[in-house]
Structure 1
Amino acid sequence: MSAQVHGFQTEVNKLLKLLANSLYSNKEVFIRELISNASDAIDKLHFLALTDPELTKDDPVLRIRIRADKDTNTLTISDNGLGMTMQEACDNLGTIAKSGTEAFIAGMSDDAVKNSQLIGQFGVGFYSAFIVADKVTVLTRSAKVGAEEGVRWESTGEGTYTSETIKRDQRGTDVILHLKDDAKDFLDTWTLRQAITKYSDHISTPVELYEEKFEAPKEGEENKDEKKEKVFEYVQVNNAQALWTRPAKEIKDEEYKSFYQHLCQDYQDPMTWSHNRVEGELEYTSLLFIPQVAPWDLFNRDNKHGLKLFVQRVFIMDDAEQFLPNYLRFVKGLVDTNSLPLNVSRELLQESSVTRKLKKALTKRALSMIEKLSADKEKYAKFIAQFGNVLKEGPVEDYSNREAVLKLLRFASTHNDNSVQDVSLADYISRMPKEQSKIYYLTAESYQAASSSPYLETFKKKGIEVLLMWDRIDEWLMGNVTEFDGKEFVAVTASDLKLGDLADKEEEKRTQEAEKEHKDIIERIKKVLGDKVSDVKVSSRLVDSPSCVVGEQGHMLTAQMRRLLEATGQQIPEEKYILEINPTHPLIVKAAEEIDESCFAKWAELIYAQALLADQGALKDPSAFVKCMNELLIG
């Protein structure tokens, strides 16, 4: 069969141009990526061979080999793993199925372009070969087919590639890099050895480097001048022991970091990790990591996530989501157990009691890891910034760990004069005065809207701390969580605001007297607004503002929740609010003095519209509000 020419997928073209035209500070990363791919191919073959030993019968010793050839200016990375068919080669090397490629390309800043390690984060590691090579040849054959169905794939990375069927006796894949002039240092054995040790020492598959064999001179040969022919052989370079099987006290931090980068295809070090081995009724080892940065698709509901599953140190599957709840989907790592069968499937995992026990144990382990991280305020602030909103899903999704997750959340509050979310619920409770029995909070559209809200006025006056929330998930969270540590959550916008012992008896008395004293203006406003409001009252919560609106008792939808539901296209019924007024405010006083009822009606409409605007951030008819305000200003 003659070679066929194919065009690369559009996304691959963009990626290759980026690689070809960019200067990178760390070219050697291609070694990590290609060895990682080879290791994955071997893991897959190892798993298939458990049920079909014939696949490895002809070559049972699995390994990765690297050979530099200065004569041909090539570097070859070989594995005797699963290999590829023609269709698989074209699918895997000519297209990128991962939808993150566009996001990767678009997100490359000038600084990021200089750091080629970023490619690993988006699963496009094979193309890192073009950082150092002006041509890449791939020779491969699937373990499932015969020698006559080998494949030769080749490209210069300039928009097209060729593929043809060849005869290939051995299974597996050879990736042959025709090195650029400025990459010839990768033909040096010492350079290769250092790179392999740096990036791939933890890989459980032996990585062998073709290098010169130095033999000690035999007795009587020390002074002989005769030239000896150089002898080369493959020498294992890496440790080739699964890192998680070693005792934690023997593993250095740098080894954990390097293993994380390989396992999770991340270019940064992890924020923290937890390595744990359990023996007994349930036997397993877990190695969990928290990344520095949230993945671009963290909030994509279709995004695959989960731990890598090993059974008896044999790789079984990626993205095993059954072992951690969804709100911990940012946790990366693996679990290796002897308590599951080697032929376990995703369906069997879903139904297995062992899986449920492992999920319970790993969830507690992950939460414990996060709790330990919280002791470092600087690191935890970064964690909250990246993953705090995902963690907020936990108290609703995971009732059994609700209190533990709530303990880990952080919020902004009126205790600070900034939007930093660093206040824990335990912090809040520790600052509560003796007479306070509730946890007060306010949800709004933004920090600015929350911090300047009129609903806070009486709390600021009394020196009562209020939690400030403005993330979209906060409404959902507070709508489903009622208390923490025995303290009830109360929204400061509630119509039946519960101040308990914080209430000033004198103030309550003054409010009741004000209701009677200002009965006339209350009735006049009610008459003007009619069905627009459910009631008009004198407010006990306002100090500096003229008015505010609150929902009726049992009212479920806050303004923020209403906006969220409307944004999803849901039809939300009109809701009547209670208008609360501050009768001592100059605006209310001026309105009360107005004798002309038509003019008073404009004041009433203005007072109500202002309250709605402060609460909701927008009005349904802003032009009518502006017109009303202009008429009153002109007089």
Structure 2
Amino acid sequence: MNTKTKEIYNFQSETKEILKLMIHSLYSNKEIFLRELIANASDALDKIRFLSITNSNLNIYNTNLSITIECNKKEKTIIISDNGIGMNKKEVIENLGTIAKSGTKNFLSSLNKNNDNKTNLIGQFGVGFYSSFIVADHVTVHTRSVHNSPKEGILWQSHGTGEYSIEYKEKKEVGTSVILKLKEQNQEFLDHWRLKNIIQKYSEYINFSINIKNEKNELEQINKTQALWTHKRTEIKEKQYIEFYKNFTKTSEDPLLWIHNHVEGNQTYILLLYIPSKLSSLPWNQDKKNGIKLYIQKIFIMDGLETLLPNYLRFIKGIVDCNDLPLNISREILQNNKIIEILKKSITKKILNVLEKISVTDQKKYTTFWKNFGTIFKEGPAEDINNRITILKLLRFHSIQHHNEEQYISLENYKKNMVPEQKNIYFITGDNYISASNSPHLEIFKKNNIDVLILSDKVDEWMVNYLIDFEGIKFQSVTKHDQNLNLLFKNHDNKEEIPIEIKQLIEKIKNILKNEIKDVQPTYKLTDTPAVLVPDTNEMSTQMAKLFIAVGQKVPPIKYILEINPKHFLIKKMSKMTDEKEITLWIQMLFDQTVLIEKGSVDNPNAFIARINHILNF
């Protein structure tokens, strides 16, 4: 062994490409270099701890396994040290001279496909030790293997320009120190608080203490919080779950409930998921990232992953820690990863099962859940076909038989309360609870004690397009034209045939409003209202049109059917009119009323008022 000779080596060709990219490009997520170096140090500490258990003859004198970080503002250096297993010369060449185990080909392939988005790739692919060159123009590694003597310490150095040097340099302690000589533009990482925040973000829960040496040359341990999720449920008290949630979410509110599972099998992972007690953002904000953080063996990788949780469960907070993914997994790779697909299905099923359980065993808690997150959860029928049956059972609604603005009627309860002649689940959509619950479309349902679900949330009109049936019973809107519905109430109330004068009135209305409506038909749904407008069965609903218009979308005009109530005194009065001007005025006024009921406004309010004034003047 020649302890004085410095040897020069060339990097592997693919490694050169990545180093060149790092040195000559700007990256938005430079801070991940520290995560990667701490992860490497943690691995080294794990290995030496394992050796201490399995090899009693090995002289391991490390008693306090830890990672230390030291900044030297004068020298512009950061030193990351561990007292782990260390490396010998051969291992240094294998680990620091090649990037073969870091997903190089996938990394470079993605760069070629994403030339305009290179700044977001570092930290997603995680290239381990080589991320040092994002912030440093010179890197030194001083290491000594646990199997070697102090004189066999190895000094590795490189500017990241294609080659590196190796020489022997005495090192008293076993372990590794990585010294980064920072570039001028990266001096921010010499700040104690900056480093502390990075450690707390990515490495808060690793097994070993991470200490920063402050300006007084004192060591401050940064990662003081335990990885609670790694413990067995029987070992954790309720207070600990709550405190962990508060620290994790930076909130003062207690969670509503939590789910903690250790899963072993084809995939090994841990879940610690929380349902908050309050909504923290606007329910329709679909751009809001979910609160799930992905860890791999207690090292934070990324958050806000739509690949781990469906969008309708985005209110869930917590941690997924998976052992079966590489530390340098990327967001792009996650989207097509079979393990993630299995995880997503399993996590979703687990959450739905817990919700289904508390909906039966703890209705008070479930009511709280629904008040806060029901609007978001209603996106489920459209998004998650595989769990459709469970989702439908968990939905809650207003209804006309329960005079309460709280949504607590389940579809199972609705089904139990259906009248013998009823073949459909009836619903009405509206701008708000008051207007929907007082709609004239509900008059006959109220009279005949038939319940109707009231859907007045913004998401409801969209959701009902995916509510085809529940346990074989189809959903039916009461605001759309349905001849079967008319026949049901005709038979139910033993209605008489329509008089000839009403039939003649219908023809007059058709002629006068031929450019405004699709058809005129009698209805048995109304008791106190003379007429209503209804879209035909296959037409877009008024509420859906409003939603499209609200977001700037153009919609084709809806041709309505005018349904008139043959029993109403105004309709009877109109059927006896003989003056053409008078009947025309009344028909136009009637039409304006139905438009106002259906849409909430009329196109020409002045003309509407003028017609009313003329009628009042008779």
Normalised TM-score (structure 1): 0.65
Q: Provide structure 2 residue ranges, at least 5 long, that are not aligned to the other structure.
A: 1-29, 49-63, 71-78, 83-177, 198-203
CA distance in 2, matches of 1:150, 1:569: 45
Displacement of 1:567: 1.7
d(CA) in 2 for partners of 1:288, 1:377: 20
Please say which of residues 263-272 and 282-291 is displaced more in the overlay: 263-272
What aligned pairs does 1:9-158 form with structure 2 within 5 A after superposition? 45-50=34-39, 61-62=66-67, 145-146=180-181
The question of 1:243 aligning with 2:203 is answered no
2: CA distance between counterparts of 1:165 and 1:289? 35
Alignment-mate amino acid for residue 567 of structure 1? A
Equivalent residue in structure 2 for 1:263, among 238, 242, 248: 248
Q: Which residue of 2 aligns with 1:617?
A: 600
* Correspondence 1:593 to 2:576: yes
Q: Is the 8 A contact 1:307 1:320 kept in 2?
A: yes
Contact persistence 1:64–1:206 (CA under 8 A): no
- Residue 417 (structure 2) aligns with: 431
SS of the aligned residue for 2:255 comes to coil
**Aligned partner (choices 539, 544, 548) of residue 523 of structure 2:** 539
Moved more, 324-333 or 546-555: 546-555
Query: What corresponds to 1:627 in structure 2?
Result: 610
Pick the aligned partner of 1:457 from 443, 449, 456.
443
Which residue number corresponds to residue 148 of structure 2? none
Of 272, 279, 293 in structure 1, the residue corresponding to residue 278 of structure 2 is 293
Name the counterpart of 2:591: 608
Question: Could you tell me whether the CA contact under 8 Å between 2:42 and 2:208 is conserved in 1?
Answer: no
The residue type paired with residue 517 of structure 2 is V
1:624 Cα deviation from its structure 2 partner: 1.1
> Could you list the per-position Cα deviations for residues 298-342 of structure 1 after superposition, in whole angstroms to 9, with x for gaps in the alignment?
533433325211222332222233111111111111111222222
**Aligned equivalents of 1:292, 1:269: Cα separation in 2:** 7
Letter of the 2:364 counterpart: E
Aligned to 1:582: 565
Deviation digits for residues 225-256 of structure 1 (CA, Å, limit 9, x no counterpart)? xxxxxxxx989899854111111121111111
Cα deviation code 1:143-189 (max 9, x no counterpart): 873389799xxxxxxxxxxxx88989x998479xxxxxxxxxxxxxx
User: Helix, strand or coil: the match of 2:329?
Assistant: coil
Flag structure 1 segments of 5+ consecutive residues without an equivalent: 1-40, 66-78, 83-142, 152-163, 176-200, 211-232
Residue 377 of structure 2 corresponds to residue 391 of structure 1: yes
Instruction: State which of 290, 294, 298 in structure 2 corresponds to 1:309.
Output: 294
Give the structure 1 partner of residue 268 of structure 2. 283
Corresponding residue SS for 1:334: strand
Q: Contact 1:591/1:600 (CA < 8 Å) preserved in 2?
A: yes
Deviations 1:203-226 (A, max 9, x none): 86649999xxxxxxxxxxxxxxxx
Structure 1 CA distance for aligned equivalents of residues 336 and 595 of structure 2: 51
1:503, CA displacement in angstroms?
4.4
1:466-509 Cα offsets, whole Å, 9 max, x none, are: 00011121111112221111110000112115449954526465
The counterpart of 1:330, out of the listed 315, 324, 341, is: 315
In the TM superposition, 1:441-520 aligns within 5 A as: 441-499=427-485, 503-505=489-491, 507=493, 510=496, 513-514=497-498, 516=500, 518-520=502-504
Cα distance in 2 for residues equivalent to 1:395 and 1:567: 23
How many residues matched? Answer: 464
1:551 to 1:42, Cα distance in 2 relative to 1, 3 A: closer
**2:353 aligned residue (365, 368, 373):** 368
CA contact (8 A) 1:310 1:337 kept: yes
**Take 1:256 and 1:383, find their aligned partners in 2: how far apart are those partners?**
19
1:528 corresponds in structure 2 to 512
CA distance in 1, matches of 2:367, 2:526: 34
**Higher alpha-carbon deviation: 493-502 or 444-453:** 493-502
| Closer/same/farther in 2, CA of residues 531 and 172 from structure 1, 3 Å limit | closer
Q: How many Å apart are 1:261 and its aligned residue?
A: 1.5
Structure 1 pair 43–367 and aligned structure 2 pair: CA distance change class (3 A): farther
Separation of aligned partners in 1, 2:445 and 2:536: 21
1:321 to 295, 306, 326: 306
In the TM superposition, residue 430 of structure 1 has moved relative to its aligned partner by 1.6
Partners of 2:335 and 2:478 in 1: CA distance: 43
Q: 1:520 to 1:504 in 2, by over 3 A?
A: closer
Residues 144 and 408 of structure 1, relative CA distance in 2, 3 Å threshold: farther
Distance 1:480 1:444 in 2: 17
Q: Which amino acid aligns with 2:336?
A: E
Secondary structure of the corresponding residue to residue 304 of structure 2: strand
* Whole-angstrom CA distance in 2 between matches of 1:314 and 1:171: 20
Distance 1:167 1:423, change over 3 A: closer
User: Identity over the aligned pairs, expressed in percent?
Assistant: 38
Q: Distance in 1 between matches of 2:567 and 2:487?
A: 25
| Secondary structure in structure 2 of the residue aligned to 1:472 | coil
SS in 2 for 1:410: coil
Q: Distance between the aligned counterparts of 1:205 and 1:593, measured in 2?
A: 92
SS at match of 1:276: strand
Cα distance change, pair 267–44 in 1 and its aligned pair in 2 (3 A): farther
* Cα RMSD after superposing both structures: 4.0
In the other structure, the counterpart of 2:545 is: 562
Paired with 1:394 and 1:266, the residues of 2 have a C-alpha distance of 27
Deviations 1:94-138 (A, max 9, x none): xxxxxxxxxxxxxxxxxxxxxxxxxxxxxxxxxxxxxxxxxxxxx
State the partner residue of 1:378: 364
Question: Contact conserved, 1:47 with 1:314, CA < 8 A, in 2?
Answer: no
Q: Aligned equivalents of 2:81 and 2:617: distance in 1?
A: 84
Q: Give the AA of the match of 1:595.
A: T
Per-residue deviation, 1:583:
2.1
Secondary structure of the residue aligned to 1:273 is strand
User: Which amino acid is the alignment partner of residue 347 of structure 1?
Assistant: E
Does structure 2 conserve the Cα–Cα contact (< 8 Å) formed by 1:288 and 1:334?
yes
